[in-house]
């Protein structure tokens, strides 16, 4: 007598023992179907089943087996599952069980079966799809080259552990600043975020979240030294300011203008290097910046010295187009070279005069420090909200990081205030009474 035997749950088929034909087929599932499990109670006990001469009791037993398999989440997306396939000896088609498949379940199933990309492949895709949309594209390319040179670049992204990143963090911290290490870790963390949100790797864990980042304390208070004097030496042979030394120590025609604008207007180096001639109003002394770091445009007033420097530089040049040809990185490198030459010239002058050079001159001075210098110079002139509009800071907290007043300047301002004048008058009266 023909008999239906259920094979293993892995195969998920019901086979006729007499003819060997498959009478029922249920694929092995990976995700439970939503809602109630579909019932196979409507599987007919005639037709294909009757052709194999199976009793009604055995048919009910078969239906129970199939229902139990569905209850065990034996479900394989997508689409409809063939509950009873047509037997070779039968005349009627078996009933199909329709189970809805969510797109998320199908997507997760495909992702589990696919091979995760390596870190190098993920970074390359990030540079091609995400970085071009950001203003920090150049900086991210430099950070990406650092990650591509590491020993974990060829490892799948799901095999990278936080211990691997901790080892790299400690290695970088020995030779790099804390801010540099933090930027590198932040870049990798964003790569994982994009992979989870945009590339479909929803189950990918971000190992950077388990890495403690170094504490960044990069607040700068370096001011430009402008009281350089040597007895018996003229101002032409010994400039009075560090910036004058640096300007005289470069052969570039653009760097002196960039240094002057940075020290006079508090503009960022990227804003200066991207200036265009049609945005400069020399008549009213205003520079319009349509695209800034924080995404908002602003107008920057020019000091008389900055306006005269621009007027001389722009004489005979086209009325439209970019003013400078150097990039922000190239301007920084040119500033560093000029600073080194200025220090060498200063030491040679001190050696020729038999004097000890000042170790503070030109030491640690950066191009970005000129933005701090300009903010500190303009602070006594403008109110806080006006100064923020000029410098482009969004918050008072960031603005105060760039304001470094001189203690002697604050003391003079206090003495000239109404409070200081009243107290000075009382002191003079007290001294006059004592003398009398």
Burial 253-287 (b: 16+ CB within 10 A, else e): ebbbbbbbbbbbbbbbbbbbbbbeeebbeeeeeeb
Residue 25 has pLDDT above 70, yes or no: no
Out of 31-45, 200-214, 314-328, pick the least confident. Answer: 31-45
Number of separate domains in the chain: 3
- CA 318 to chain CA centroid, Å, is 37
Picking from 369, 368, 331, 329, the residue whose alpha carbon sits closest to that of residue 138 is: 329
Q: For residues 136 and 67, state if they share a domain.
A: no
The β-bridge relationship of strands 97-98 and 80-81 is: antiparallel
Asked, for residue 331, whether it belongs to a domain, the answer is yes
Give yes or no for a contact between 208 and 157, defined as CB atoms under 8 angstroms apart. Answer: no
Give yes or no for a contact between 152 and 160, defined as CB atoms under 8 angstroms apart. Answer: yes
Residue 227 has pLDDT above 90, yes or no: no
Q: For residues 126 and 157, state if they share a domain.
A: yes
In angstroms, the Cα distances linking 314 to 113, 132, 246 are 63, 32, 21
Asked, for residue 220, whether it belongs to a domain, the answer is no
Which tens digits make up the pLDDT trace of 105-116?
665 556 554 678
Average pLDDT score over residue span 59-75: 51
Residue 126 has pLDDT above 80, yes or no: yes
**What does the pLDDT read at residue 411?**
82
Give 3 or 307, the one with higher predicted confidence: 307
Give the CA dihedral 247, 249, 250, 256, nearest 10 degrees. Answer: 0
Out of 208-212, 296-300, 400-404, pick the least confident. Answer: 400-404
Out of 136-150, 195-209, 210-224, 274-288, pick the least confident. Answer: 210-224
**What does the pLDDT read at residue 107?**
58
- Burial class for 20, CB neighbours closer than 10 Å (0-12, 13-18, 19+): exposed
Tokens of 250: 């470069």
Domain boundary among 159, 192, 210: 210
Residue 3 has pLDDT above 50, yes or no: no
Residue 64 has pLDDT above 70, yes or no: no
CA distance 19 to 26: 19
For the chain, report the end-to-end CA distance as a whole number of angstroms: 139
CA distance 136 to 186: 13
Residue 131 has pLDDT above 60, yes or no: yes
DSSP designation for 155: S
**What does the pLDDT read at residue 96?**
43
CA distance 84 to 203: 35
Give yes or no for a contact between 204 and 157, defined as CB atoms under 8 angstroms apart. Answer: yes
- CA 195 to chain CA centroid, Å, is 14
Domain boundary among 45, 73, 102: 102
CA distance 254 to 273: 10
**What does the pLDDT read at residue 291?**
84
**What does the pLDDT read at residue 405?**
73
Give 125 or 66, the one with higher predicted confidence: 125
Residue 26 has pLDDT above 60, yes or no: no
DSSP designation for 419: H
Which tens digits make up the pLDDT trace of 251-264?
999 999 999 999 99
Q: For residues 248 and 356, state if they share a domain.
A: yes
Asked, for residue 73, whether it belongs to a domain, the answer is yes
Give 55 or 403, the one with higher predicted confidence: 403
In angstroms, the Cα distances linking 97 to 32, 34, 87, 101 are 14, 14, 17, 12
Tokens of 410: 């604050």
Q: For residues 247 and 372, state if they share a domain.
A: yes
Q: For residues 206 and 63, state if they share a domain.
A: no
**What does the pLDDT read at residue 260?**
94
Give the CA dihedral 33, 34, 35, 41, nearest 10 degrees. Answer: -20
Q: For residues 74 and 199, state if they share a domain.
A: no
Give the confidence band of 6 by pLDDT, cuts at 50, 70, 90. Answer: very low
CA distance 342 to 362: 8
**Which active-site residues does the annotation give?**
268, 293, 368, 371, 393, 402
Residues 6+ positions from 224 with CB-CB distance below 8 Å: 241, 242, 243, 263, 365, 369, 370, 373
**What does the pLDDT read at residue 310?**
94
Q: For residues 304 and 395, state if they share a domain.
A: yes
Specify the DSSP element, H or E, that contains 178: helix 178-197
CA distance 89 to 86: 8
Burial 373-405 (b: 16+ CB within 10 A, else e): bbbbbbbeeeeeeebbebbbbeeeeebebbbbe
Tokens of 189: 């963390």
Which tens digits make up the pLDDT trace of 149-165?
999 999 999 999 999 99
Q: The CATH number of the domain where 254 resides is what?
A: 1.10.443.10
CA distance 20 to 189: 56
Asked, for residue 222, whether it belongs to a domain, the answer is no
Asked, for residue 54, whether it belongs to a domain, the answer is yes
Q: For residues 56 and 178, state if they share a domain.
A: no
Asked, for residue 432, whether it belongs to a domain, the answer is no
What is the model's pTM?
A: 0.61
Domain boundary among 37, 70, 102: 102
**What does the pLDDT read at residue 402?**
78
Asked, for residue 338, whether it belongs to a domain, the answer is yes
Residues 6+ positions from 286 with CB-CB distance below 8 Å: 299, 300, 301, 302
Specify the DSSP element, H or E, that contains 286: strand 286-289
Q: For residues 300 and 183, state if they share a domain.
A: no
- Report, in angstroms and rounded to the nearest whole number, the Rg of the chain calculated over CA atoms: 38
Out of 89-103, 135-149, 373-387, 414-428, pick the least confident. Answer: 89-103
Q: For residues 275 and 398, state if they share a domain.
A: yes
Out of 36-45, 277-286, 335-344, 427-436, pick the least confident. Answer: 36-45
Asked, for residue 295, whether it belongs to a domain, the answer is yes
Average pLDDT score over residue span 49-67: 53
Residue 416 has pLDDT above 80, yes or no: yes
Containing structural domain, residue 293: 242-402
For residue 186, the tally of other CB atoms under 10 A from its CB is 13
Q: For residues 58 and 187, state if they share a domain.
A: no
Q: For residues 252 and 311, state if they share a domain.
A: yes
Out of 66-70, 118-122, 310-314, 321-325, pick the least confident. Answer: 66-70
CA distance 145 to 386: 41
Specify the DSSP element, H or E, that contains 24: strand 22-25
């Amino acid at each position: 007598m023909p008999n239906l035997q259920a094979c293993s749950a892995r195969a998920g088929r019901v086979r006729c023992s007499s003819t060997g034909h498959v009478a029922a087929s249920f694929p092995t599932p990976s995700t439970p179907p939503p809602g109630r499990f579909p019932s196979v109670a409507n599987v007919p006990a005639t037709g294909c089943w009757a052709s194999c001469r199976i009793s009604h009791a055995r048919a009910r037993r078969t239906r129970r087996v199939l229902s139990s398999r569905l209850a065990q989440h034996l479900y394989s997306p997508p689409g409809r599952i063939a509950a009873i396939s047509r037997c070779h000896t039968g005349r009627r088609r078996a009933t199909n069980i329709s189970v809805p498949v969510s797109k998320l379940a199908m997507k997760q199933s495909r992702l589990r079966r696919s091979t995760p990309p390596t870190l190098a492949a993920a970074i390359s895709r990030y540079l091609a799809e995400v970085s071009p949309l950001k203003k920090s594209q150049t900086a991210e390319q430099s950070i990406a080259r650092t990650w591509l040179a590491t020993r974990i670049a060829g490892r799948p992204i799901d095999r990278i552990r936080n211990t691997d990143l901790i080892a790299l963090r400690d290695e970088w911290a020995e030779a790099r600043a804390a801010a540099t290490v933090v930027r590198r870790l932040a870049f990798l963390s964003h790569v994982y975020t994009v992979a989870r949100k945009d590339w479909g790797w929803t189950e990918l864990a971000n190992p950077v979240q388990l890495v403690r980042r170094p504490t960044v304390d990069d607040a700068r208070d370096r001011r430009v030294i402008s009281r350089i004097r040597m007895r018996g030496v003229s101002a032409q042979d010994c400039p009075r300011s560090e910036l004058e030394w640096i300007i005289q120590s470069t052969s570039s025609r653009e760097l002196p203008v960039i240094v002057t604008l940075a020290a006079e207007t508090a503009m960022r180096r990227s804003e200066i290097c991207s200036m265009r001639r049609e945005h400069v109003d020399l008549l009213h002394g205003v520079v319009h910046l349509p695209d800034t770091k924080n995404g908002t445009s602003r107008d920057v007033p020019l000091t008389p010295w900055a306006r005269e420097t621009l007027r001389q530089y722009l004489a005979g040049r086209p009325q439209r187009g970019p003013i400078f040809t150097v990039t922000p990185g190239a301007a920084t490198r040119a500033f560093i070279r000029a600073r080194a030459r200025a220090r060498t010239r200063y030491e040679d002058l001190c050696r020729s005069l038999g004097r000890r050079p000042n170790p503070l001159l030109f030491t640690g001075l950066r191009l970005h420090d000129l933005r701090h210098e300009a903010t500190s110079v303009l602070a006594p002139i403008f109110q806080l909200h006006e100064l923020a509009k000029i410098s482009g800071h969004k918050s008072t907290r960031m603005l105060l990081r760039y304001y470094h007043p001189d203690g002697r300047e604050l003391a003079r301002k206090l003495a000239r205030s109404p409070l200081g004048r009243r107290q000075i008058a009382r002191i003079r009266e007290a001294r006059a009474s004592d003398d009398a």
